[in-house]
Amino acid sequence: MPTVQVTDLKDGDFLLDVREDDEWQAGHAEGALHIPISEFVARYGELTEAAPQDGRVHVICRSGGRSAQVTMYLVQQGIDAVNVDGGMHHWEQTGRTVVTDDGKPGFVL
Protein backbone atom coordinates (compact mmCIF):
# COMPACT_ATOMS: atom_id res chain seq x y z
CA MET A 1 0.00 0.00 0.00
CA PRO A 2 1.29 3.47 -0.81
CA THR A 3 2.43 5.16 2.40
CA VAL A 4 4.10 8.43 3.38
CA GLN A 5 5.51 9.69 6.65
CA VAL A 6 4.08 12.74 8.39
CA THR A 7 7.45 14.41 7.90
CA ASP A 8 7.07 13.99 4.11
CA LEU A 9 3.95 16.16 4.03
CA LYS A 10 4.28 19.74 2.91
CA ASP A 11 2.05 22.72 3.64
CA GLY A 12 -0.77 22.70 1.13
CA ASP A 13 -0.83 18.92 0.60
CA PHE A 14 -4.42 17.66 0.41
CA LEU A 15 -5.27 15.79 3.63
CA LEU A 16 -8.35 13.61 4.17
CA ASP A 17 -9.14 12.82 7.81
CA VAL A 18 -11.34 9.71 8.17
CA ARG A 19 -11.66 9.69 11.98
CA GLU A 20 -15.06 9.87 13.64
CA ASP A 21 -16.73 13.14 14.68
CA ASP A 22 -15.64 13.06 18.34
CA GLU A 23 -12.00 12.55 17.32
CA TRP A 24 -12.19 15.36 14.77
CA GLN A 25 -13.77 17.76 17.26
CA ALA A 26 -11.01 17.12 19.82
CA GLY A 27 -8.39 18.17 17.29
CA HIS A 28 -7.36 17.86 13.66
CA ALA A 29 -4.92 19.16 11.10
CA GLU A 30 -5.86 22.62 9.93
CA GLY A 31 -7.28 22.57 6.41
CA ALA A 32 -8.00 18.84 6.32
CA LEU A 33 -11.20 17.51 4.76
CA HIS A 34 -13.19 15.46 7.28
CA ILE A 35 -15.22 12.48 6.09
CA PRO A 36 -15.60 9.81 8.80
CA ILE A 37 -14.90 6.27 7.60
CA SER A 38 -18.41 5.29 8.76
CA GLU A 39 -19.86 7.77 6.22
CA PHE A 40 -17.19 7.55 3.56
CA VAL A 41 -18.98 5.65 0.80
CA ALA A 42 -22.11 7.80 1.12
CA ARG A 43 -20.05 11.01 1.08
CA TYR A 44 -17.50 9.95 -1.55
CA GLY A 45 -18.66 12.76 -3.86
CA GLU A 46 -17.46 15.34 -1.36
CA LEU A 47 -13.95 14.00 -1.75
CA THR A 48 -14.01 13.98 -5.54
CA GLU A 49 -15.24 17.60 -5.53
CA ALA A 50 -12.65 18.82 -3.01
CA ALA A 51 -9.56 16.84 -4.03
CA PRO A 52 -7.13 18.34 -6.52
CA GLN A 53 -7.77 16.96 -10.00
CA ASP A 54 -4.23 15.74 -10.62
CA GLY A 55 -3.03 15.78 -7.05
CA ARG A 56 -2.50 13.24 -4.35
CA VAL A 57 -4.90 12.49 -1.50
CA HIS A 58 -3.12 11.94 1.83
CA VAL A 59 -5.41 9.87 4.07
CA ILE A 60 -5.04 10.06 7.84
CA CYS A 61 -6.76 8.63 10.92
CA ARG A 62 -5.61 8.20 14.52
CA SER A 63 -2.91 5.59 13.98
CA GLY A 64 -3.13 4.36 10.37
CA GLY A 65 -5.56 1.43 10.30
CA ARG A 66 -8.73 3.12 9.09
CA SER A 67 -6.85 5.37 6.71
CA ALA A 68 -5.20 2.29 5.19
CA GLN A 69 -8.64 0.88 4.37
CA VAL A 70 -9.76 4.13 2.75
CA THR A 71 -6.46 4.47 0.89
CA MET A 72 -6.88 1.01 -0.64
CA TYR A 73 -10.46 1.86 -1.67
CA LEU A 74 -9.33 5.11 -3.31
CA VAL A 75 -6.48 3.41 -5.16
CA GLN A 76 -8.99 0.87 -6.50
CA GLN A 77 -11.05 3.83 -7.78
CA GLY A 78 -8.02 5.11 -9.68
CA ILE A 79 -7.23 7.96 -7.27
CA ASP A 80 -3.63 8.78 -6.35
CA ALA A 81 -3.97 8.18 -2.61
CA VAL A 82 -1.46 7.41 0.13
CA ASN A 83 -1.79 6.41 3.76
CA VAL A 84 -0.14 8.70 6.32
CA ASP A 85 1.90 6.32 8.47
CA GLY A 86 1.32 6.70 12.20
CA GLY A 87 -1.72 8.93 11.72
CA MET A 88 -2.64 11.86 13.90
CA HIS A 89 -0.69 10.41 16.83
CA HIS A 90 2.51 10.77 14.84
CA TRP A 91 1.30 14.12 13.45
CA GLU A 92 1.04 15.48 16.99
CA GLN A 93 4.30 13.85 18.14
CA THR A 94 6.25 15.52 15.33
CA GLY A 95 5.05 18.94 16.47
CA ARG A 96 2.49 19.54 13.73
CA THR A 97 -0.38 21.83 14.67
CA VAL A 98 -3.61 20.27 15.95
CA VAL A 99 -6.63 22.58 16.14
CA THR A 100 -10.33 22.53 16.96
CA ASP A 101 -13.02 23.81 14.60
CA ASP A 102 -12.72 27.30 16.10
CA GLY A 103 -8.95 27.36 15.55
CA LYS A 104 -7.94 26.84 19.16
CA PRO A 105 -5.27 24.29 20.13
CA GLY A 106 -6.64 20.75 20.06
CA PHE A 107 -5.42 17.28 20.92
CA VAL A 108 -5.54 13.82 19.40
CA LEU A 109 -8.22 11.65 20.93
Strands 57-60 and 81-85: parallel
Plot region of 88 (φ>0 → left; ψ -120 to 50 → alpha; else → beta)? alpha
Set 6, 16, 32, 61: catalytic member: 61
Structural contact between residues 95 and 17, judged by C-beta atoms closer than 8 angstroms: no
Q: Is 40 a catalytic residue?
A: no
The type of residue at 65 is G
CB proximity list for 79: less than 8 A, separation 6 or greater:
51, 57
- Known catalytic residues are 61
